[in-house]
């Protein structure tokens, strides 16, 4: 027998450390399907083009490289929301909320949640079309739990999903927003060591989904997330992530605009120092007429930190009147930090407006002098300019209160260093 290649070996080693959750029916079938795709594809290695700037080893290896349990305060403290907690893998749901049905993946096998049956793993599989996403396949196959959120009306307050505790969870959430319904989902967590979280979001015509996520500020985090979204006509999708200080973060977003006049906005503000490595990888597909997409990512890097942005806009044939915008910018606070950007456009329609830009810059010395000349100490002045730089990305948060909340959180984190 021929020895397996290193990629297959790594994949099998990872799989061997996991247990396929028991059960049968549609969920078991979806898991088996994902496992098959994973084994055919193999887990990522540094040689994969899509992982060129981010070493996947720590995300892929059977056991997490870190063993520090994270603790920390709630970044959304003071925000009025329905709270769902996942603490050491135990999900606690709030009482009944109008316009919302929430179930857990663990119970899904026995319940007939027909809407989830059609979605679980389906958007992930579709999103692995142009570029394989084996870490998401792994997630679909082995997720221990997750939320199934069905939005049928207007929800009065945001839903806040707070995940804490146990090391190395694999969680898979599915959200379906029905026609005309909207949900604001806040996501935060202090998960020690390592986490792999996938979220599939299906938006019916005219549906709205606003996602605001905070990652950090604990340093000992290895985070891998995927968001797969599919938008119907006139649907609105917004996602924004504030990240600080995690050691290794790879956030992937795969968004498909399948109905006319839909809008997708995805953005992020990240800052970190030292061994901070932060990767935003985005793939947006325009497959309908008159849709708009925006990608706005900003990173502040210091003392050897690395920022990565891989963003693609694919405009399919017939997706006329597409308006695609993409900007990625970094502020390097010293010469040791680096920012690696790979913006891509692939366009098969002739009546579209797409733009992308990427910049890397240092702190504006004139602005720094201006602030210091008013008596602001240098350290504080740099913080103010960092805040100034990130503010343009934070502007992408549509809700004014949440935007202010994030700005204050950011200022607070910066002040603490």
Q: Which is nearer to other proteins, 126 or 368 (CB)?
A: 368
The least distance separating other proteins from the CB of residue 404, rounded to whole angstroms, comes to 11
Least spacing, CB of residue 387 vs other proteins, in Å: 6
Quick one: which of 201, 200, 213 has its CA closest to 34? 200
Closer Cβ to other proteins, 273 or 386, answer by number: 386
Burial category of 395 from C-beta neighbours within 10 Å (exposed 0-12, middle 13-18, buried 19 and up): middle
CB nearer to other proteins: give 86 or 333: 333
* Residue 408 CB, nearest approach to other proteins (Å): 11
Please state the closest distance from residue 89 (CB atom) to other proteins, in A: 39
| Cβ closest to other proteins, residue 323 vs residue 392 | 392
Indicate the residue among 177 and 333 with the shorter CB distance to other proteins.
Answer: 333
In the numeric block, the tokens 């985070």 are attached to 223
Minimum distance from residue 383 beta carbon to other proteins (Å): 10
Looking at the Cβ atoms of 243 and 390, the one nearer to other proteins is 390
- Name the residue nearer to other proteins (CB basis): 319 or 390: 390
- For other proteins, the closer CB: 147 or 387: 387
- Give the residue with the Cβ less far from other proteins, 95 or 417: 417
Query: Minimum distance between the CB of residue 382 and other proteins, rounded to whole angstroms?
Result: 12
User: What residue ranges bind other proteins (CB under 8 A)?
Assistant: 364-367, 369-378, 380-381, 384-385, 387-392, 394
The least distance separating other proteins from the CB of residue 186, rounded to whole angstroms, comes to 22
How many angstroms separate the CA atoms of 265 and 248, rounded?
Answer: 24
> Which of 351, 365 has the CB closer to other proteins?
365
**Residues near 138 by beta carbon (within 8 Å), at least 6 away in sequence:** 14, 34, 38, 43, 170, 196
Q: CB of residue 198 vs other proteins: minimum separation in angstroms?
A: 33
Neighbouring C-beta atoms of residue 277, cutoff 10 Å: 22
Question: Closest distance between other proteins and the C-beta of residue 385, in Å?
Answer: 7
Question: Smallest distance, Å, CB 334 to other proteins?
Answer: 16
């Amino acid at each position: 027998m021929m020895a397996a290649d290193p990629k297959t070996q790594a994949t099998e080693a990872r799989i061997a450390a996991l247990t396929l959750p028991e059960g049968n029916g549609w969920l078991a079938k979806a898991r088996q399907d994902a496992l098959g795709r994973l084994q055919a594809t193999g887990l990522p290695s540094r040689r994969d083009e899509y992982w060129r700037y981010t070493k996947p080893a720590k995300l892929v290896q059977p056991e997490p490289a870190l063993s520090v349990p994270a603790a920390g305060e709630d970044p959304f403290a003071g925000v009025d929301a329905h709270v769902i907690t996942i603490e050491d893998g135990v999900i606690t749901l709030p009482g009944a909320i109008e316009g919302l049905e929430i179930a857990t993946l663990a119970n899904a096998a026995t319940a007939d949640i027909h809407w989830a049956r059609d979605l679980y793993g389906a958007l992930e599989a579709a999103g692995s079309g142009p570029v394989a996403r084996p870490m998401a396949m792994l997630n679909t196959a082995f997720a221990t739990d997750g939320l199934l959120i069905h939005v049928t009306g207007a929800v009065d307050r945001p839903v806040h999903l707070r995940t804490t505790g146990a090391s190395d969870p694999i969680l898979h959430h599915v959200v379906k927003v029905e026609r005309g319904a909207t949900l604001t989902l806040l996501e935060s967590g202090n998960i020690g060591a390592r986490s792999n979280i996938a979220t599939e979001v299906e938006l019916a015509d005219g549906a709205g989904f606003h996602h605001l996520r905070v990652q950090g500020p604990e340093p000992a985090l290895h985070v891998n997330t995927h968001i797969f979204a599919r938008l119907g006509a006139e649907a609105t999708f917004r996602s924004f992530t504030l990240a600080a200080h995690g050691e290794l973060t790879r956030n992937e977003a795969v968004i498909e605009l399948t109905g006319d006049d839909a809008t997708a906005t995805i953005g992020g503000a990240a800052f970190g120092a030292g061994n901070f490595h932060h990767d935003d990888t985005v793939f947006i597909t325009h497959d309908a007429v008159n849709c708009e997409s925006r990608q706005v990512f900003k990173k502040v890097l210091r003392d050897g930190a690395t920022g990565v942005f891989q963003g693609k806009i694919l405009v399919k044939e017939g997706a006329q009147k597409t308006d695609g915008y993409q900007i990625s910018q970094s502020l390097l606070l010293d010469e040791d930090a680096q920012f690696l950007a790979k913006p891509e456009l692939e366009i098969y329609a002739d009546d579209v407006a797409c733009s992308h830009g990427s910049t890397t810059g240092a702190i504006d010395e004139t602005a720094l002098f201006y602030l210091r000349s008013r008596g602001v100490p240098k350290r504080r002045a740099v913080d103010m300019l960092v805040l100034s730089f990130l503010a343009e990305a934070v502007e992408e948060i549509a809700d004014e209160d949440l935007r202010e909340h994030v700005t204050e959180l950011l200022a607070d984190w910066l002040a603490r260093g």
